[in-house]
Amino acid sequence: MAQDTYMMNYEKWLESPALSDADREELALIRDDDQEIRERFTQMLSFGTAGLRGIMRAGLNGMNVYMVRLATQGLAELIIEETGGMVHSTNDVPASVAIAYDSRNNSPAFAEEAACVLAANGIRAYLFESLRPTPELSFALRETGSIAGINITASHNTKEYNGYKAYWSDGAQCAPEQASKVAEVMHRIDIFKDVKTMDYQAAVDDGRIVLMGEAMDEKYMTQVLAQSVGAEYVKKAADDLKIIYTPFHGTGYILVPEVLQRLGMKHIITVPEQMVIDGDFPTVKSPNPEYREGFDLAVELAKKNNVDLIIGTDPDGDRCGVVVRDGDEYKTFTGNQIGVLLLDYLIRARKEQGTLADDSVAVKSVVSTTMADRICEVQGVEIMNVLTGFKYIGEKIKEFEENGGHTFLFGFEESMGYLTGSYARDKDAVVASMLIAEMACYYYLQGKTLADAINELYATYGYYREKVVSFVFEGLDGQEKMKKIMEDLREHAPAEIGSKVLRVRDFSTGVITDLATGETSETGLPKSNILFYDLADKGTAIIRPSGTEPKIKFYIMAAGDSVEEADAKVAAIEAAGAALLG
C-alpha cells in the first residue's frame, strides 16, 4: 500500500467524530512515527475462520471497539442474508446470537459493543452477565437456538492481545465461506459511517439484549457431569487423592472447582494468586498451560501439600494442561500425552462398564500424535483425522448425529484441546479437567500416578515423541516470506527431512503424491494450507502457517522401540526442518 493510502487511513481515523478522546490522543502520539502508523493502518486486521486476533490498540490493524463493531456488522449482514433478508423467524421471534467473553482487558466492553450492534440490526443478543468459558458459549448458542455466537477472547496469547471468535448455529466456529462473507462486508463498508449501534441499556430494557447467568451454568454443568465414566473410581479414591487447580486468572475459576466437587473430589487446592481475575496475568509471562513456567506457583503448592497432580486451564477455559509428579520432579505433559492418556482411559473405562459403543469413533487433528491411531488399532476403535481447528471435530460430531452409524467417543488436538460428548462443539477444559481428575483416581487405585500411566502406555504401544517448532516472520513482509516458502516447497518437494520422504500430502490441492512411484490419490479432507510429509520408519513432518500469528509451525512426530531412538529421530527431523524454514 502506498504511503499516501495508509496515511489517509490514519488521518481519517484522527478526523472521525466517532473516535473517542482517548483513542484520538493515542493516535496523535504516533504522528511522527511512520513505522507505527504503517503497522496500524496499512492493512485491516484479518477476519478468518478463527475470527479476529490482534494487539489492543487504535487502528485498522488492532483490536478495538471500532473493529469489534465492524466485524459484528459483518456478522449481522451475514445473518440477515442467511435468513432471507428477514431476521425474524416464526412467531415474530428475532434471530439471536449468543455472546461470551473472557478475563482479558477490554473483553466486557467489546462484548457489550457487539451486543449493541446486533440489537441495532434487529438481532437479539444473549449476553453472559460475566465472564464464561468458551465451551459454555458453544453450549449456550445451541441451547438458546441462536443462529450464531461471538466469543471475545485471545485464548492463551499474552496480555497485549484480544480477539473475536465467531460461531455458527451448530456450535462450532464459522466455516471458511461464512468467514469470507463477514470479511467481505468489513472491507466494503465504512468503519465509522455504516455500522449500526444503539444504547446498551435501552437494548436491555426492550429485550434486544438478554442477560444469561446461573441458569445456563447449571444446564452446562449438568451436561459436563453426564460425560463422567469414573464415578466409582472417584468414590473410592477421593478421601486420599489431592489435586491442585489453577485457572491462570481466567474463566475456569468458578466452574472447574464446582464440577470437580460435584464429581466427588474432596481435596481440591486452588492457587490463590491465580484465582484472581486479572487481564494483565501478573503471575505468568504467558497464560498458556503448555508452558511449565506458568505452573511455578502451583508446583510450590504441590510440594508443600504432597500433591501428585496439577491441572491448569487457559483464560477462556478451552485448553487444559497437566503437571504431574514423577519421582522428585514435576513434569509438564504435552497435549499429545494428555490426549492419548484420556483416549486410552475412556476406552478402558467404557469397556469395563460395558458402555463402549460398537461404532465408537475418536477424532483428532492431522497434526496430533499417531500414537492415538495405534491405541485405537489395538483397542478396536475407529479413529478419524481432520484438519487443524476444533471446528472440524465439531463438524464430525454433527455429521455423526445427522447420519448415524458412528458414536462420538473423544476428540482432541495436540494444542491441549479435548472434548467428549456432543453438548458442545468446541474444546472444553472443564470436561477435560473432570476426566483427568477421575482418570487420576483410576490409576491411583492401581498404585500409579499419571507419570506411571504414560510410561505404561509407551511400553504397551511404543515410544512416540512429538515436537512443534515455530519459525516467526515478523514485519510487514512476514506474510510474503511465509507465502514464498510454501510455494517453493510445493514446487520442489524435499527428498529427505531427517529421513526419506515417502509421500507428500498437500492439503491445499487435496492430493497425496507417492514420491517413489508418482502415483496420486486424494486426501479426502477440505483444502487447507498444510504440507504433510510421510517419512520412512514411522516419521512425520508437517508444515503449517499459523492462521492467527506471523509464524510457520513445524510439527514433528516419530516412534521407536525406545525413548532414545524416538528422541534421536525427532532431533534429525527438527534439524532438517530448520534448514528448510529457518
Domains identified in the chain and CATH numbers: 1-42 (no CATH), 45-219 (3.40.120.10), 237-461 (3.40.120.10), 464-581 (3.30.310.50)
Distance CA 9, CA 510 (A): 39
> Is the pLDDT at 151 greater than 60, yes or no?
yes
Distance of CA 336 to the CA centre of its chain: 15
Torsion of CA 290, 111, 221, 413, to 10 degrees: -30
Distance CA 309, CA 325 (A): 7
- Please compute the mean of the pLDDT values over residues 268-278 and round it to a whole number: 98
pLDDT for the residue numbered 475? 77
pLDDT for the residue numbered 89? 43
- SS3 assignment for 170-185: CCCECCHHHHHHHHHH
pLDDT in tens, 379-425: 999 999 999 989 999 999 999 999 998 999 999 999 999 999 999 99
C-alpha cell at 559: 516412534
A 10 A CB-CB count for 138 gives 31
Q: Which of 77, 139, 124, 131 is nearest to 109 (CA)?
A: 131
Q: Please, what is the average pLDDT of the chain?
A: 95
CB 543 within 8 A of CB 471: no
Q: Per-residue confidence at 571, pLDDT binned at 50, 70, 90?
A: very high
> Is the pLDDT at 573 greater than 50, yes or no?
yes
Distance CA 545, CA 482 (A): 7
- Please compute the mean of the pLDDT values over residues 207-218 and round it to a whole number: 97
Phi, psi of 52 (to 5 degrees): -110, 150
Q: Per-residue confidence at 325, pLDDT binned at 50, 70, 90?
A: very high
C-alpha cell at 178: 461464512
478 Cβ contact list (under 8 Å, min separation 6): 472, 550
pLDDT for the residue numbered 15? 95
Angstrom CA distances, 576 to 496, 554, 579, stand at: 8, 11, 5
A 10 A CB-CB count for 517 gives 8
A 10 A CB-CB count for 305 gives 11
pLDDT in tens, 163-204: 999 999 999 999 889 999 999 999 999 999 999 999 999 999
Q: Beta-strand (E) ranges in 134-190?
A: 148-152, 161-168
Report the run of H or E that residue 478 belongs to, with start and end.
Answer: helix 478-491
Distance CA 277, CA 291 (A): 20
Active centre residues (catalytic): 155
- Please compute the mean of the pLDDT values over residues 460-479 and round it to a whole number: 90
Angstrom CA distances, 202 to 118, 210, 455, 480, stand at: 13, 12, 59, 46
pLDDT in tens, 486-530: 999 999 999 999 999 999 999 999 999 999 999 999 999 999 999
Instruction: Report the chain's terminal Cα–Cα distance, integer Å.
Output: 28
Q: Per-residue confidence at 91, pLDDT binned at 50, 70, 90?
A: very low
Specify the pairing of strand 124-128 against strand 96-101: parallel
C-alpha cell at 569: 529421530
Report the run of H or E that residue 350 belongs to, with start and end.
Answer: helix 335-353
Distance CA 383, CA 409 (A): 10
Q: Would you call 428 helix, strand, or coil by DSSP?
A: coil
pLDDT for the residue numbered 1? 41
CB 136 within 8 A of CB 151: no
Helical H segments across 16-101, by residue range: 21-28, 34-41, 65-82
pLDDT in tens, 50-85: 899 999 999 999 999 999 999 999 999 999 999 875
In which order are the strands placed within the sheet that holds 242-246? Answer: 267-270, 242-246, 309-313, 320-326, 329-332
pLDDT for the residue numbered 548? 65
Longest dimension (CA), the chain: 71
String of b and e for 25-49 (b: at least 16 CB within 10 Å)? Answer: ebbeebeeeeebbbbbbbebbbbbb
Q: Which of 261, 263, 317 is nearest to 289 (CA)?
A: 317
pLDDT for the residue numbered 437? 98
Distance CA 265, CA 181 (A): 47
Residue type, 523: T
Residue type, 367: V
- SS3 assignment for 233-286: HHHHHCCCCEEEEECCCCCHHHHHHHHHHHHCCCEEEECHHHCCCCCCCCCCCC
Rg (CA), the chain: 24
Residue type, 383: I
pLDDT for the residue numbered 275? 98
324 Cβ contact list (under 8 Å, min separation 6): 308, 309, 310, 330, 331, 333, 449, 450, 451
CB 550 within 8 A of CB 479: yes
- Please compute the mean of the pLDDT values over residues 463-478 and round it to a whole number: 90
39 Cβ contact list (under 8 Å, min separation 6): 61, 476
Cα 177–Cα 181–Cα 186 angle in degrees, nearest 5 = 145
Q: Would you call 455 helix, strand, or coil by DSSP?
A: helix
pTM of the complete model: 0.94
Distance CA 118, CA 322 (A): 39
> Is the pLDDT at 90 greater than 50, yes or no?
no
Angstrom CA distances, 248 to 264, 334, 338, 384, stand at: 23, 18, 19, 32
